[in-house]
């Protein structure tokens, strides 16, 4: 019997330390983590590869995360991918803008490893 396909996560984060921290927190078992350092690269990866979950910063170079989110949610090929904003922007207007763009949720920095793993586990179980 073949092993199930790994659960693939795209992390779009411009800060190298945070990007690698998230990668190390999530890279466990049948989970593959890909990263992008700016909005344009994140959008390109999401459109050209298959992901089960996207974690997206709001403040990104080249294209902000809310714009990336809006574009991914408007595209039938990527609209169904759960997408969570992972950001330090905590104002109510920022949260509302992300949710209006189609984000499934909003995780505030600083975050706990357990919080990220709960999110991943929830979506891995749904995938089956």
User: Which domains can be identified in the chain, with CATH numbers?
Assistant: 7-120 (3.40.50.2300)
Please write the tens of the pLDDT for every residue from 14-53. 999 999 999 888 876 678 999 999 999 999 999 999 999 9
Torsion sign over Cα 30, 34, 39, 43:
negative
Predicted local distance difference test score (pLDDT) of residue 10: 97
- C-beta neighbour count of 109 within 10 angstroms: 13
Please write the tens of the pLDDT for every residue from 51-77. 999 999 999 999 999 999 999 999 999
Is 126 exposed, middle or buried, given 0-12, 13-18 or 19+ CB atoms closer than 10 A? Answer: exposed
CA distance linking residue 94 with residue 75, whole number of Å? 22
Radius of gyration of the chain (CA): 14
């Amino acid at each position: 019997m073949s092993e199930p396909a790994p659960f693939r996560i795209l992390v779009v984060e411009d800060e190298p330390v945070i990007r690698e921290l998230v990668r190390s927190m999530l890279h466990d078992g049948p989970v593959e983590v890909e990263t992008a350092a700016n909005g344009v690269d994140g959008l390109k990866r999401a459109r050209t590869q298959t992901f089960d979950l996207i974690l997206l910063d709001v403040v990104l170079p080249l294209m902000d995360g809310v714009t990336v989110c809006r574009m991914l949610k408007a595209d039938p090929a990527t609209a169904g991918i759960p997408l969570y904003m992972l950001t330090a922007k905590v104002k109510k207007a920022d949260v509302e803008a992300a949710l209006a763009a189609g984000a499934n949720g909003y995780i505030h920095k600083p975050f706990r490893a357990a919080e990220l793993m709960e999110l991943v586990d929830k979506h891995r179980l749904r995938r089956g």
